Amino acid sequence: MRKLKDWFSGRRAGSIGSPKRRRIDLGSATPSYPIYVIGDVHGCLKELKKAEAQIAVDISSSKRAGPVVLLGDYVDRGPSSSQVLEHLIRPSELGLKRLPLCGNHDDIFLKFLNEPELYAEWLGLGGEQTLISYGIDLHHLNVRQKNRIAKLAELLAEAVPDDHRQFLADLPICLKISNLFFVHAGIKPGIPLDQQDDEDMLWIRAPFLSEGPKLPILVVHGHTPHTSTDFGPGRIGIDTGAYYTGKLTVLKIDGGRATVL
């Protein structure tokens, strides 16, 4: 994964440029409300709806509402990437207050939409499944290999709605609430939050997973799949590989206590 991160980062110089994504800071006060966090979705609409239903039941039971933070990777690998984006763009039918963050797959998908020739490697990261969700079958394109990317760009221009593109472009990269920090992949250990690089927050594994943030915060992240919730030093990983396990984890943080729904 480090090689892929470096590969995509290296494309910046020849691309149209990627502005830094928004970073949300809700202040230092301890939240008086529960926070629900959903791990990597990866095109699994059924699992996402089930997770949201669980949250709605919990809110109804406790009579205490709170935001639903999604940790990114809404597209690729699973069967329903387009449908997941459409679902998240619309207001929640359950009345949930969603706050979706950006994942590395969402970021690359947008870059591919803007510059398909530069980001063709996205197709091998689960992008073919995303194309199918938009009605595009890569293996049935009746064009020569060298013209394939150009044809894909043409088809995607017609197939991907503007509001899907805007949703991907507007995704913030992180959220801070008190000493809680929500981000897709993690952070570089020991580096102040305002100096963290977007690419690290989207891609990092080592040394973050083994060392933790080395800051007085708790980082809740996805990106690195495990069979169950992964509690590490100063961090909680909740990517449980929904697209191949059918298990989409929901973490609830309330009064300093973290539990899995």
| Long-range contacts, stretch 244-249, CB < 8 angstroms, 24+ apart | 244/77, 246/44, 246/47, 247/47, 248/38, 248/39, 248/41, 248/44, 248/47, 248/48, 248/50, 248/51, 249/38, 249/39
CA distances from 20 to 43, 170, 246 (A): 25, 11, 33
pLDDT tens digits for range 81-109: 999 999 999 999 999 999 999 999 999 99
- For the domain made up of 2-8+27-260, the CATH class stated in words is alpha beta
DSSP 70-81: E-S--SSSSS-H
Whole-angstrom distance, CA of residue 22 vs CA of residue 240: 26
pTM check: above 0.85: yes
Give the chain's length.
261
Q: Cis omega (within 30 of 0) on the bond before 207? A: yes
* CB contact set of 28 (below 8 Å; sequence gap of 6+): 178
Q: What is the pLDDT of residues 224-256, one digit of tens each?
A: 999 999 999 999 999 999 999 999 999 999 998
Instruction: Please report, in tens digits, the pLDDT of each residue of the chain (261 residues total).
Output: 444 555 444 444 334 446 789 999 999 999 999 999 999 999 999 999 999 999 999 999 999 999 999 999 999 999 999 999 999 999 999 999 999 999 999 999 999 999 888 888 888 899 999 999 999 887 776 555 667 777 888 888 899 999 999 999 999 999 999 999 999 999 999 999 999 999 999 999 999 999 999 999 999 999 999 999 999 999 999 999 999 999 999 999 999 899 999
